[in-house]
Amino acid sequence: MVDRKHKIKFIFKLVGAITGACVGISAGAAFKVGLKNIDASIFGYISGAFAIVTAVMHVYYAKRRFTYDNSHLLKLLMYVGCFVQLAGVVSFVVYLVLGCLYQTDKFIIVGRNYFLTCVWCFMTWKWGFFLFLHARTYYKEIMKTAEDGFHDPINEES
């Protein structure tokens, strides 16, 4: 039962990350080509990129590629996730203020729309948060496994 539960959770995480990557990249292309909103396009592409990083991290964890010896990669992903969250929040606030101050028509879709860019800043924050959260969870699980079953074959007594 527990194994099946973990498998279902993994599938949902992976499908969510892949969906996020597809939506982010599609939105980036749509905003750049069709709607001429380069700001939202950039944040759409960034959101999709970090969704891909999150998906790859899930696959690496499922294939047991993260071990005690290379757990520093998970720490790096945690730091990257924190940075992306910070960038997402700051850009969200900046575009919200710009939208409140300079955008007279709130319902335009074609051209520069600060409020649409706010949505994609939030999506970028979300993928930074998921990257941090799952990297932290995987790191803790690896450290717990290493504590419980760690043995040193070099200094092991015969």
Angle at 126 between CA 124 and CA 130, to 5 degrees: 120
Here the tokens at position 26 are 């599609």
Q: What is the distance between the terminal CA atoms of the chain, rounded to a whole angstrom?
A: 39
52 contacts 21 by C-beta, under 8 angstroms: yes
Instruction: Compute the average pLDDT of residues 4-23.
Output: 92
- Backbone φ and ψ of 13, nearest 5°: -65, -45
Here the tokens at position 144 are 């717990």
The 3-class SS string of 78-109 reads: HHHHHHHHHHHHHHHHHHHHHHHHHCCCCCCC
Residue 58 has pLDDT above 70, yes or no: yes
* pLDDT given at position 67: 85
**Considering the chain, what is the average pLDDT of its residues?**
89
Neighbours of 108 (CB within 10 A): 14
Sequence-distant (≥ 6) Cβ neighbours of residue 144 within 8 angstroms: none
* pLDDT given at position 126: 97
Q: Which of 29, 83, 23 is nearest to 55 (CA)?
A: 23
10 contacts 58 by C-beta, under 8 angstroms: yes
Q: Is the CA virtual torsion 59, 62, 65, 71 positive or negative? A: positive
Residue 122 has pLDDT above 80, yes or no: yes
Q: Which of 54, 44, 63 is nearest to 17 (CA)?
A: 54
Instruction: Compute the average pLDDT of residues 34-57.
Output: 95
Residue 76 has pLDDT above 70, yes or no: yes
Q: 128-148, pLDDT tens digit by residue?
A: 999 999 999 999 999 888 877
